[in-house]
Amino acid sequence: MIPSPRSTILLFIATQILSFAPQATASPSYQDSERDHVISAPVERTEVLGSATGLRKRADTAYTNPADNGGYMLTIVNGTYPAGLGEPLNVILSAESDALVLKQSVDNGGFLNYMLTAGLGEECLGQHLGSDQSANLGDGKGNVTEVEELRYNYGDPYIGTCQETFQGGLHLRYWIQNNTGAYFMAVSVEKSLTEGHDIVRDGYNIGRDQLVANLTGKAVETRNITNQTTFSGSGSYKNYTYQTDVKYVSGLLKNSSDDINHFYTVEQNGYPAIDGLVAVLTVKITDKPKSSSALTTLARMPVVALIGPLLIASVVALF
Ligand SMILES: *[C@@H]1O[C@H](CO)[C@@H](O)[C@H](O)[C@H]1NC(C)=O
Ligand SMILES: *[C@@H]1O[C@H](CO)[C@@H](O)[C@H](O)[C@H]1NC(C)=O
Ligand SMILES: *[C@@H]1O[C@H](CO)[C@@H](O)[C@H](O)[C@H]1NC(C)=O
Ligand SMILES: *[C@@H]1O[C@H](CO)[C@@H](O)[C@H](O)[C@H]1NC(C)=O
Ligand SMILES: *[C@@H]1O[C@H](CO)[C@@H](O)[C@H](O)[C@H]1NC(C)=O
Ligand SMILES: *[C@@H]1O[C@H](CO)[C@@H](O)[C@H](O)[C@H]1NC(C)=O
Ligand SMILES: *[C@@H]1O[C@H](CO)[C@@H](O)[C@H](O)[C@H]1NC(C)=O
Ligand SMILES: *[C@@H]1O[C@H](CO)[C@@H](O)[C@H](O)[C@H]1NC(C)=O
């Protein structure tokens, strides 16, 4: 592949950062609050998994429907026209997944490491360049701002998400359902920054299915998906191997354009903006590194946080 001027610029920035950055050292995972006791329901199957912190259990509730308790399967977006449009929460990481995957951590095979098997990483140099959305998952927490946004890294786990920020592509926002520990994700394929990060045609369905395809290694044909469709497959990152079982579920979202943000430019060939199917992922860790002392990612380093804004400013100037 011939490097584009953009990738050359990004490569240059990467080498600059690497020359700045101190050696990565092992550190405790961030925001790594214990929530195993929360996802353990009173009556449960017990599954013992070896881990640094001892025995782990799996929850027996995959997720609950937000609408059952005052919530919504659409996100809450400020300033839509008409008002009140939202984006579909079209992928759920079931709380019946292995407890390690349900931890919001890059270390020990956590959620952020799992997402990297699909090439989705935290934002460009730790800088948030998108508008926030909220969601109400019917878990008693009310309207809650997204935990964060993850962007496709185009094969480069260090600064690839910068390219997504500018060029567009696969991205997601996620929330964690407090009563179950399930992750709810609003996944879509977006246009470039200069096009206002609008959603491409059929971009919600396609985003969901690209994520599923990348996590399972299976070819997913969006228009063929029904509520009977399942996929299984695996992917690895940092020597953690994840087996993902996917089930497409109807009844949570409508097969409709009603209340969908950007519906007019997302509808395609007479199909509504979303097909109403949610991909529910149940994940097992089937292999892990011999010694799991994971390194902190570059993006976590204070030096990057400091010089990040400067670099963003220079990249914006260049594009
Ligand atoms: C949306 O707007 C309201 C009122 O202006 C504000 O309180 C809230 O923080 C905004 N939400 C997000 C996610 O930006
Ligand atoms: C939560 O969001 C919904 C949907 O936008 C809105 O109707 C409601 O007023 C919000 N609740 C609070 C407490 O802001
Ligand atoms: C639920 O919320 C509490 C309090 O905010 C928090 O400590 C706990 O970790 C949350 N549990 C989950 C599963 O997110
Ligand atoms: C994985 O995601 C990327 C980014 O959206 C996409 O270009 C690629 O086609 C996906 N892979 C598969 C197998 O769908
Ligand atoms: C999608 O459905 C069409 C028509 O049934 C079929 O010809 C095609 O092989 C299917 N594609 C995949 C990837 O399953
Ligand atoms: C699948 O969708 C059809 C409508 O397209 C509906 O009648 C059926 O009940 C659904 N099945 C399940 C298992 O949700
Ligand atoms: C959604 O509705 C369209 C018609 O508007 C139909 O062709 C399509 O099969 C439906 N999709 C699903 C997944 O039910
Ligand atoms: C991953 O496994 C390979 C060989 O299977 C080994 O060379 C490498 O050091 C391992 N990496 C980690 C981070 O454990």
Q: Which atom of ligand 8 is nearest to the CA of 238?
A: 13
Global pTM value = 0.81
**Residue 287 beta carbon below 6 angstroms from any ligand 8 atom:** no
Spatial neighbors of 34 by CB under 8 A, at least 6 apart, are: none
Q: Which atom of ligand 8 is nearest to the CA of 289?
A: 14
| Alpha helix (H) residue ranges in 56-170 | 111-116, 160-167
pLDDT tens column, 274-298: 999 999 999 999 999 987 444 544 4
Q: What separation in Å is there between the alpha carbon of 48 and the centre of ligand 4? A: 34
Nearest listed ligand to the Cα of residue 277: 7
pLDDT at 246: 98
The rounded percent of the chain whose pLDDT value lies above 90 is 60
pLDDT tens column, 30-66: 222 333 222 223 223 333 333 333 334 456 699 999 9
Q: How confident is the model at residue 318 (pLDDT cuts 50, 70, 90)?
A: low
**Residue 214 beta carbon below 6 angstroms from any ligand 4 atom:** yes
**Residue 35 beta carbon below 6 angstroms from any ligand 3 atom:** yes
Atom 13 in ligand 6: which residue has the minimum CA distance? Answer: 227
Q: What separation in Å is there between the alpha carbon of 219 and the centre of ligand 5? A: 11
Nearest listed ligand to the Cα of residue 221: 5
Q: What separation in Å is there between the alpha carbon of 78 and the centre of ligand 1? A: 6
pLDDT at 32: 28
pLDDT at 163: 87
Q: For residue 82, say if its preceding peptide bond is cis, omega within 30 degrees of 0.
A: yes
Angle at 275 between CA 279 and CA 183, to 5 degrees: 30
Q: What separation in Å is there between the alpha carbon of 263 and the centre of ligand 6? A: 24
Q: Are 62 and 180 in contact (CB under 8 A)?
A: yes
pLDDT tens column, 113-169: 999 999 999 988 777 877 899 999 999 999 999 999 999 999 888 888 888 888 889
Cβ atoms within 10 Å, residue 301: 21
pLDDT at 123: 87
Hey, which bits of 106-201 come out as E strands? 120-122, 134-135, 144-145, 148-152, 169-176, 183-190
Residue of 210, 218, 221, 275 to mutate, ligand 5, most atoms within 8 A of C-beta: 221
**Residue 229 beta carbon below 6 angstroms from any ligand 3 atom:** no
Q: Which atom of ligand 3 is nearest to the CA of 139?
A: 1
Q: How confident is the model at residue 247 (pLDDT cuts 50, 70, 90)?
A: very high
pLDDT tens column, 185-222: 999 999 888 888 889 999 999 999 999 999 999 999 99
Greater confidence, 197 or 302? 197
Give ligand 7 pocket residues (Cβ under 6 A).
Answer: 226, 255, 271-272, 275-277
Cβ atoms within 10 Å, residue 54: 9
Atom 7 in ligand 4: which residue has the minimum CA distance? Answer: 210
**Residue 143 beta carbon below 6 angstroms from any ligand 2 atom:** yes
Residue of 156, 189, 190, 214 to mutate, ligand 4, most atoms within 8 A of C-beta: 214
**Residue 61 beta carbon below 6 angstroms from any ligand 3 atom:** no
Give the C-alpha separation, 87 to 89, whole Å. 7
Q: Which atom of ligand 1 is nearest to the CA of 131?
A: 14
pLDDT at 282: 98
pLDDT tens column, 68-108: 999 999 999 999 989 999 999 999 999 999 999 999 999 99
Whole-number average pLDDT of the chain: 80
**Residue 215 beta carbon below 6 angstroms from any ligand 4 atom:** no
